[in-house]
């Protein structure tokens, strides 16, 4: 079986906050220090699809774009959908679409991802910068992009079938020997400067590519998913301790609303229904918290894995 894995990132690749153990022992509250948490997390997110499912889902995406923009040649990015200036420049003016219609499109786009929960499988790696000291930050092992790429390659390797991995372009050109492209390939080919993991050779990954997201709908899907994973962690943290009691007395997990709408898409281990360390990994994985993401996901029919 052949799969394609489309990958995009969210958050800052660089370190913005100084290292301090106090950020681990006494993390600043989100309500007062939202910018700290935005700077703290970095997410690399892949959306994995069987080759045979690409055509029908791609057609659905193009049809949705034509319905709202009059053309399928429009790039969808989470930041552009939300930032007032970019909304206006990228969508409202060139496509003569109203803010209300644009919002409606955004809702239907996220619904489309959730609708194909069996076909569009999410593998996301979250990098928590607080746990990386000054010494490690200078090494490849402590670089958010490189470490998340290594872990994501590992997760893809342990998934079924063979895989072609496609990254959103990170440099001004698509050259493989340039900047972050070259560094990612070095991680894939040699694990240069990285600590050894459980994969000696990625023989289930048959190719690595870089593409422009404007030319690939599924990179745009990966962008939306990465953004929502990032905001789940920014708002609720790695522990997701913000649990409240419902009227029935049942504990409920706090979810960022748009993350909630794609949580059934995460890849999981069929033996124990575990998502942590499979479809969603936060590194370093210190407490090994098994986030309950799949509640209610199998009420209609069994989700494939």
- The pLDDT-based confidence of 299 (bands split at 50, 70, 90) is confident
The answer on pLDDT for 242 being more than 70 is no
Mean pLDDT lowest among 14-18, 110-114, 178-182: 178-182
The reply to whether 60 falls in a domain is no
Torsional sign, CA 258, 293, 24, 131: negative
Query: Which runs of consecutive H residues, i.e. helices, occur in the chain?
Result: 22-25, 34-40, 54-69, 78-82, 84-87, 99-115, 134-137, 144-157, 179-190, 217-236, 257-260
Identify the pLDDT of residue 288.
Answer: 80
Count of structural domains, the chain? 1
The reply to whether 72 falls in a domain is no
The reply to whether 47 falls in a domain is yes
Report the Cα 19 to chain-centroid distance in Å: 25
Q: What is the pLDDT of residues 273-290, one digit of tens each?
A: 889 999 999 999 887 877
Q: How many degrees, rounded to 5, is the angle at CA 186 between CA 147 and CA 38?
A: 30
Identify the pLDDT of residue 156.
Answer: 96
The reply to whether 96 falls in a domain is no
Integer Cα distance of 268 and 154 in angstroms: 15
The reply to whether 76 falls in a domain is no
Q: How many residues does the chain have?
A: 305
Mean pLDDT lowest among 102-106, 162-166, 172-176, 223-227: 172-176
The reply to whether 224 falls in a domain is yes
Q: What is the pLDDT of residues 70-101, one digit of tens each?
A: 999 999 999 999 999 999 999 999 999 999 99
The reply to whether 208 falls in a domain is yes
What's the whole-model pTM score?
0.93
Integer Cα distance of 249 and 271 in angstroms: 29
Mean pLDDT across the stretch 238-250? 58
Q: What is the pLDDT of residues 124-141, one digit of tens each?
A: 999 999 999 999 999 999
The reply to whether 232 falls in a domain is yes
- The pLDDT-based confidence of 252 (bands split at 50, 70, 90) is low
The answer to whether the bond into 284 is cis (omega within 30° of 0) is: yes
Segments forming the whole domain that contains residue 206: 2-52+122-283
Where is pLDDT greater, at 173 or 216?
Answer: 216
Q: Is 246 left (phi over 0), alpha (psi -120 to 50) or beta?
A: beta
Q: Are 233 and 41 in contact (CB under 8 A)?
A: yes
Torsional sign, CA 108, 112, 117, 123: negative
Tell me if residue 13 falls in helix, strand or coil: coil
């Amino acid at each position: 079986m052949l799969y394609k894995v489309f990958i995009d990132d969210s958050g800052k690749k660089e370190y913005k906050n100084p290292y301090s153990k106090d950020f681990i022992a006494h993390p600043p509250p989100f309500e007062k220090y939202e910018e700290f948490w935005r700077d703290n997390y970095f997410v690399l997110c892949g959306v994995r699809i069987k080759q045979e499912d690409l055509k029908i889902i791609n057609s659905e995406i193009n049809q949705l774009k034509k319905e709202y923009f009059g053309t399928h040649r429009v790039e969808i990015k989470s930041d552009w959908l939300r930032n007032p200036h970019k909304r206006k420049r990228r969508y409202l003016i060139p496509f003569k679409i109203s803010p209300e219609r644009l919002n409606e499109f955004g809702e239907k786009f996220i619904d489309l991802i959730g609708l194909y929960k069996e076909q569009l499988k999410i593998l996301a790696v979250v990098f928590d910068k607080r746990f990386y000291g000054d010494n490690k930050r200078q090494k490849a092992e402590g670089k958010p992009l490189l470490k998340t790429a290594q872990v994501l390659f590992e997760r893809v390797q342990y998934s079924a079938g063979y895989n072609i991995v496609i990254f959103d372009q990170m440099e001004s050109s698509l050259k493989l020997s340039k900047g972050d492209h070259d560094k990612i390939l070095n991680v894939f080919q040699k694990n240069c400067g990285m600590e050894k993991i459980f994969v000696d050779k990625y023989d289930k990954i048959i190719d690595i590519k870089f593409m422009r997201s404007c030319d690939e709908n599924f990179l745009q899907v990966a962008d939306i998913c990465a953004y929502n994973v990032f905001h789940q962690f920014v708002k609720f943290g790695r522990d997701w301790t913000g649990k409240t009691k419902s009227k029935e007395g049942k504990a409920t997990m706090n979810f960022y609303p748009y993350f909630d709408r794609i949580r059934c898409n995460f890849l999981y281990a069929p033996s124990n229904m575990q998502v942590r360390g499979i479809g969603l990994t936060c590194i370093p994985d210190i407490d090994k918290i098994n986030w309950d993401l799949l509640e209610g996901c199998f009420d209609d029919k069994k989700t494939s894995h």
